Amino acid sequence: MIIWADGKVTGLGGRWKGAVELTVARGDGSEGTEVPALVYTDLMPAPAVGDRVLLNVAALERGLGTGGYALVIAVLDREGRVTAQPPQPAGHLVKARYLPLQAMVAGADEQGSAHHELLAEADSIDGMPVIVADLHSALAPIVLAIADDRPGTRVVYLMSDQGALPLAFSRSVAELRTSGLLAGTVTVGQAFGGDLEAVTLHSGLLAARLALDAELVVVTQGPGNLGTGTRWGFSGVNAGEAINAAAILGGRPVGTLRISAADARERHRGISHHSLTAYGRVALCPADIAVPDLSDDDSPAIAELAQAVSVSAQLLSSRHRLVTVSLSGLRTVLAASPIQLSSMGRTLEDDPAYFLAAAAAGRHAAALLDS
């Protein structure tokens, strides 16, 4: 299940909140091989050049979605002993429970928290729009559209635990925070590293609204998406549960459609089967489904999608409200993004329909705040 390796740090790369990139020369029989590695500084101190590190290289060697990184398990001294400890935990919420690297954090809703009294009997998010998306890569275009249509909106990102567990793995979140486009973050379930930690989607939504004063929340899984090519075997099915959670708490859920004209897999062309399953089968509460008006874009590839998307969207109309959203100006907004837009290795130019569909959900949710 795990492929261990060790090595010596030969270089330091990018650094953002909670993470540092490294270059590591492996010394486990792969001498002479340097690999990119990532260390989470909430779990251990950042190493220096020359330090030894213990690595998990399983996903790297299998070519899976860890961003091409070996992951640092521990920073070691010359005798193989663990170096200085990271900051001591402040709370009692355990994330990644019962794994060797389980992390103890302070939960917003746990006893002793400054927010415990506020959240103890909380039961409503008071009509707050909650945008739900299948993939983490939808977050940036959603937020960019909100910022363009309604500057200054307090947007909070809630990361579920269906993809990456450490929020620090997401460079886009770090860049959105630095750019002032996100007001805060909440991590729920086994995910960790947000401004606030919460036990469930429900308590996370309440914490975002009541403790972070969110006007609008975006819910996606973390980076990475597990899929098996089957109807039910994909981590994005959780999007349907997020719709339910938002509705149960008195919010206004908005579903983001996963649309593509470039994905080589037929099941993801047009409206992905992930959206049709999550919203059509799992989401039992009604939501607004943002349907991008593809006729607004003059790209030939997108024009071909318009009819197929319109037909597929009708499959969701018996349960949800289909809302056609103008794309006017959004292509320009996304093209000027200060954050790199990428999904499954495809850029805005490669697959504009995907990013425009996400931006449409942001535009519709922003409009709800003024309706």
Residues 197-222 have a mean pLDDT of: 97
Residue 91 has a pLDDT of 86
Average pLDDT in the 345-364 region? 92
Q: Return the pLDDT at 21.
A: 96
d(CA 313, CA 309): 6
CA 135 to chain centroid: 7
Say how far apart CA 95 and CA 64 lie, in whole Å: 23
- Could you tell me the pLDDT band of residue 260, with boundaries at 50, 70 and 90? confident
* Strand pairing category for 155-160 and 216-221: parallel
* pLDDT value at 62 more than 90: no
- Residue 61 has a pLDDT of 81
- Span 267-279, mean pLDDT? 83
pLDDT tens column, 91-140:
889 998 998 888 899 999 999 899 999 999 999 999 999 999 999 999 99
Q: Which of the pair, 321 or 61, is modelled with greater confidence?
A: 321
Can you tell me the distance from the alpha carbon of 175 to that of 334, in angstroms, rounded to the nearest whole number? 15
- Looking at the domain that runs over 116-368, which CATH code has it been given? 3.40.50
CATH, domain range 4-76: 2.40.50
Tell me the CB-side half-sphere exposure of residue 99, using CA atoms within 13 A.
14
Give CA separation, 237 vs 143, 227, 248, 272, in Å. Answer: 22, 10, 18, 12
Minimum mean pLDDT among 82-86, 156-160, 209-213, 214-218: which range? 82-86
Instruction: Identify the CA nearest to 4 among candidates 50, 46, 65, 61.
Output: 61
Q: pLDDT confidence of 79, banded at 50, 70, 90? A: low
Length of the chain, in residues: 371
Cβ contact 60:41 at 8 Å: no
Q: What is the pTM of this model?
A: 0.93
Q: Is the pLDDT of residue 211 over 70?
A: yes
Q: Write the secondary structure of the chain as one string of H (helix), E (strand) and C (coil).
A: CCCEEEEEEEEEEEEECCEEEEEEEECCCCCCCEEEEEEECCCCCCCCCCCEEEEECHHHHHCCCCCCCEEEEEEECCCCCECCCCCCCCCCEEECCCCCCCEEECECCCCCCCCHHHHHCCCCCCCCEEEECCCHHHHHHHHHHHHHHCCCCCEEEEEECCCCCEHHHCHHHHHHHHCCCCCEEEEECCCECCCEEECCHHHHHHHHHHCCCCCEEEEEECCCCCECCCCCCEHHHHHHHHHHHHHHCCCEEEEECCEECCCCCHHHCEECHHHHHHHHHHCCCCCEEEEECHHHCCCHHHHHHHHHHHHHHHHHCCCCEEEEECCCCHHHHHHCCCCCCCECCECCCCCHHHHHHHHHHHHHHHHHCCC
The per-residue pLDDT for 333 is 97
Q: At what angle do helices 139-149 and 171-178 cross, to 10 degrees?
A: 20
Q: Is 34 in contact with 69 (CB distance < 8 Å)?
A: no
pLDDT tens figures, 177-198: 999 999 999 999 999 999 999 9
pLDDT at 271: 84
Residue 82 pLDDT > 90: no
d(CA 359, CA 357): 5
pLDDT: is 27 or 293 the higher one? 293
Q: How confident is the model at residue 272 (pLDDT cuts 50, 70, 90)?
A: confident
C-alpha Rg value of the chain to the nearest Å: 21
| pLDDT of res. 30 | 61
Beta strands 19-26; 129-132: pairing state: unpaired
Pick the more confident residue, 266 or 347.
347
Domain boundaries, the chain: 4-76, 116-368
Tell whether the model's pLDDT for residue 268 goes beyond 70. Answer: no
| Residue percentage of the chain with pLDDT more than 90 | 65
Q: What is the mean pLDDT of the chain?
A: 90
Residue 262 has pLDDT above 80, yes or no: no
Res 238: pLDDT: 94
